[in-house]
Structures are given as C-alpha cells and as structure tokens.
Amino acid sequence: MHFSFGVVVAAFVSSCLASPGYLRLDVHRSSSSERLIRRSDDVDATLNQNTNKLEYLINITVGTPPQNLAVTLDTGSSDLWVPASSSSLCKKGKCDEGSFDSSKSSTYTVVEQGGFNITYAAVGDSDAGDWATDTITVGGSAQIKQQQIGVASSLVDQHGVMGVGYDTNEAANDEPNGVYQSVMDNMVSDNIIARKAYSLYLNDLRSTQGAIIFGGVDTTKYTGDLVALPLQAGQTGNVSEFYVTLTGVSYTDHTGKTTQLSPDGYAQAVLLDSGTSQTYLDDDTFAAIANGFGAVNDGQGDFLVPCDFTNVNGTVNYAFGGDGGPTVSVPVSQVIGGKAFSSENFDDASGGCALGFGPPIDGIAILGDTFLRSAYAVYDIDNNVAALAQAAENQTSTSSIEVISSGTTLPGATFTASATGTQLGGAAATSSPAVPTVSLSGTTMILAGTPTFNLGVSQVTSYSPSTITKTATSSGGAVSGAAPTAALLGMGLVAGIHMAM
C-alpha cells in the first residue's frame, strides 16, 4: 500500500549483512521525484494517490546475469514488479533506479503476456506489462529462482515495488486463487530466513541510515519493551494486512503537560504501512491534532504550519493494545515536512511547511512513515502479529541481532496487549472532516492558523477577521468533531503545488 505525490525523498539499500536465518539491509536516503501510491486489491490493482512525501527503496537484482535495480519496499502490498527497459520512459533515461531488459536474461519466462496491470488514480497513470518468472536476489541474498514478477513495459512510474505483505493481497493472476509464491514465501522455502517475519527501523527523519532485517530483530534499535499486538481483521473480515489496535492518542507539550486527543473508550484498528508517507487518523483525532497545531488547508489536501514548528519540544503519543500495551512517542520535529511556501506567501517569517497528518483515506486509518520513523516495528505474517517499541534514534550497531526462528515467539517481545478495535470502514465511520476555506479577494498570502496546543513558540497572524469571507469550499463531508480552522488566501496560487516531507 502506498500513498504520496510531489517531491519525494527516497531511501535505498547500500549494503546488506547476511547470516544464517536472517538478512539485514542498510537503507540510505537520496532525492527522487517519484511518488508513492496506495494499492487496492481489486482485479486491476487500482491505486489511489495521496500526499507526502517519503519513499524507501531496496536494491534487488533480476535475471541471469543479474541486472541491478532499486524498488520501493512496501509493507502494504505483496507483488514484486519492475520497469522494463523497453518502456518509453526508460528509453528516455528516466528510470532513475534502474530497469530490466528481459532479452538479456537467460532465465526469463513469460507467465501471462499482458496480464500485469497496476492503475493509478490520475487519468492515464498506469503501469502494465507481463507476468513472468526470473531469478532474483534481494540486497545481496542468495539467488531466488523462478520468482514471479510483473514487468511493466507500459510505464508511468520510474521504478517498481517489492511488497512484503500477505499473499492474499497479490494482484490477480492465473495461479490458483490468485495467489503465487511471494518473495517472502521464497525467502523461507530457500532457507534465507526461517519465518515470514521481519523488523523495520526507518530511523530519524534527518538521519542518513535505517535498516530492515528479514527474519531478525535488532535489540539495539529500540528502548523499553517490545510488545506484540494481535493483528486485526481488515475490511474483508480476514487478517490480511497489518492492522493493530490504537487505544489512545495524546499530545505532551514542553512543560510535560499531556492532553488527550482521542475520545474516551477509543479502540481503533489502524494500518501499519511503510508505503504511506503520512499518518491518517479518524476524524475526531485528526481534527484535534490539526486544531492543536493551527494547521491550515492548502486546498490540495495537505495542511500547513509554520516551518519553525520543527523546533517545538513536544510529542504526539500513540498507545496500543490497552493495558500492557506499548506507547510510541513521536517528536513534533518528525512530523513537519519541508518548506512549501516562503514567508512571501505564508504569514510567518519561517514560511509554511507540511504537517504529516490527514483524515482517513477511503475509511482507512493509517500509521505511515510520520509514525514509523519513531517506532521499531516487527511484522510476523506467519502468526498474525506485529510488535512495537519506541525506536532508539541513530543507532548503527549490528551486534545484537537475534534470529526470528520458526514457531510463535518473537525475540525479546512480550505478549501482554490484547485489546481489539474496529476498522473505520467496518464501523460507523464518519465522513472526512470538512475544513472551511477562508478567502480574501485580491491577495496571495496564506494566513497561519492559531494553535490550541502550548507549543512554546510565537506566531504572527496579521489579518483582520472582519475582512474575511467564509466560503463553502471544503475537503468534503460533514464536520466530525471540531474541524481544523483554515485560512487560505489566493487559491490560484496553490493549485498544482505539492510539498516535500
């Protein structure tokens, strides 16, 4: 599952470390113009675009002799697909992370000509081609032979995806029940790892290195307890994605005061998804966060705050699983993106930056990269479990990796949290909160909002309320709870402008 568009920062694998039972890969960031998109599980694998702004890539090889590529690592999907060198985009030199030339591989076999198709929300934005099999490696692993892959010859996006989710989310193909041996399946059958499980450490927003360990847990990468959470059923009624139960969201300011943001009795199934850059929460909780930071709608589905908020000493806290469950605290600095507007167009001397939150997408609450960078996450597909702990920032040691062996236990994890929650789409989900757009004729200045949190920073708001005319423009739906206040001036200015996170 992916979400994002606009300017993207990508991370790619520069090295790997293999050991019996696990495969460790370092990840590093580099600039990219690509976007992430969320994948659904219908026949054509339709993907819906959304905003902001990070992408994490891993190195693979495909073919004999091996051809080097980097593809997006995605916990929310299950297929591996790569761009074909024969595509017009690659011929123009725009496949920035490599492409695959099937004519140069002696082990390439077509499974279904023209059967591979991933369609995106924008008109004409799709990647299509053949289902095939070939020999691959993942970050320097042993060879995985006859791996089924999609090879996109009709290409819009500059690089492919390696999904590491449940087989049941694979795109439709001619295999029985639409399921084939995924990369994770073949890692186990080829004895590269002992179990379909891995740990993910994205690390600090401004750091240069993180890691994924297939089949292993690194105890140096988290603090406190690593607590296992039972996965919850998604919209299909089955456990087929990484839904865990979020039981509380709060904000702690620089004085140590904590304000509860989620309603009493809160128990919400949320998706842990590395392929989604932002965090999307239920309407009430999102509205409380947006109001707390005084975020304003940019008219394109993103929310702006002064860039100086990266210096705010506060945290957004997420509690999981009820009694005995883990709490992950995300510093404000980790959820404020790159500058979108200068002080010439945003009414704050520091300019306007993106806040990495939004309302639910298609009834789905998602904890994306603006959460996962502060969490150490273990994904256990075989046992329908995910484990979470507070990430230890900028830890580079590799001395304490423990193998996730076959069975049901996770190294170092406790199994004390058991609360369950309801996914938004299966409950009485409220519509996305309508954020009023406020306009002032003849100006191109975006007015900063008024935070309700104690942020410990000053903010300039220079407009006169008596001159502002409220319009009916909104992001859709009725307001659930308190909607974020928005003051957006000169709508023509922001059309088509997207932000980096």
DSSP string over 371-410 = HHTTEEEEEETTTTEEEEEEE-TT----TTEEE--SSS--
Closest among 190, 179, 243 to 215, alpha carbons compared = 190
For the ranges 154-168, 255-269, 418-432, 478-492, the maximum mean pLDDT occurs at 255-269
Q: Can you give the pLDDT at residue 484?
A: 36
The C-alpha atoms of residue 379 and residue 372 are separated, in whole angstroms, by: 12
Mean pLDDT of 203-226: 90
Instruction: Say if residues 355 and 303 touch (Cβ distance below 8 Å).
Output: yes
At 406-418, the pLDDT tens digits run: 999 999 999 988 8
Considering only residues 298 and 487, tell me which one the structure prediction assigns the higher pLDDT.
Answer: 298
Cα–Cα separations (whole angstroms), residue 359 to 281, 304, 375: 5, 14, 21
Burial of 239 (0-12, 13-18, 19+ CB in 10 A): middle
Is the pLDDT score of 289 beyond 50? yes
Domains of the chain: 8-193 (2.40.70.10), 219-426 (2.40.70.10)
Is the pLDDT score of 67 beyond 90? yes
Of the listed ranges 132-136, 165-169, 318-322, 377-381, the one predicted with least confidence: 165-169
Of the listed ranges 13-22, 174-183, 186-195, 201-210, the one predicted with least confidence: 13-22
Considering only residues 39 and 336, tell me which one the structure prediction assigns the higher pLDDT.
Answer: 336
Is the pLDDT score of 488 beyond 50? no
The C-alpha atoms of residue 285 and residue 230 are separated, in whole angstroms, by: 23
The phi-psi region of residue 124 (left if phi > 0; otherwise alpha if psi is between -120 and 50; otherwise beta) is left
Is the pLDDT score of 198 beyond 60? yes
End-to-end Cα distance, the chain: 18
**Residue 399 one-letter amino acid:** S
Give 53's pLDDT tier (boundaries 50, 70, 90): very low
Instruction: Say if residues 45 and 133 touch (Cβ distance below 8 Å).
Output: no
Give 345's pLDDT tier (boundaries 50, 70, 90): confident
Copy the structure tokens of residue 284.
């009430």
Helix (H, G, I), strand (E, B) or coil at 231: coil
Is the pLDDT score of 137 beyond 90? yes
Q: Can you give the pLDDT at residue 340?
A: 73
Mean pLDDT of 436-450: 57
Is the pLDDT score of 52 beyond 60? no
Contacts of 381 (CB under 8 A, 6+ apart): 165, 166, 184, 196, 197
Q: Can you give the pLDDT at residue 17?
A: 53
Mean pLDDT of 106-133: 81
Work out the number of other CB atoms within 10 angstroms of the CB of residue 238.
Answer: 11
Give 339's pLDDT tier (boundaries 50, 70, 90): confident
Q: Can you give the pLDDT at residue 301?
A: 72
Q: Can you give the pLDDT at residue 72?
A: 83
Mean pLDDT of 474-488: 33
Closest among 492, 431, 463, 36 to 299, alpha carbons compared = 492
At 217-264, the pLDDT tens digits run: 999 999 999 999 999 987 677 899 999 999 999 999 999 999 999 988
pTM, two decimals, is 0.84
What percentage of the chain carries pLDDT values higher than 90?
47
Give 379's pLDDT tier (boundaries 50, 70, 90): very high
Copy the structure tokens of residue 62.
């495909």
The C-alpha atoms of residue 247 and residue 55 are separated, in whole angstroms, by: 28
**Residues taking part in catalysis:** 74, 273
Q: Can you give the pLDDT at residue 267?
A: 92
The C-alpha atoms of residue 484 and residue 416 are separated, in whole angstroms, by: 36
Q: Can you give the pLDDT at residue 86?
A: 95
The C-alpha atoms of residue 135 and residue 145 are separated, in whole angstroms, by: 4
Mean pLDDT of 319-339: 91
Mean pLDDT of 14-35: 60
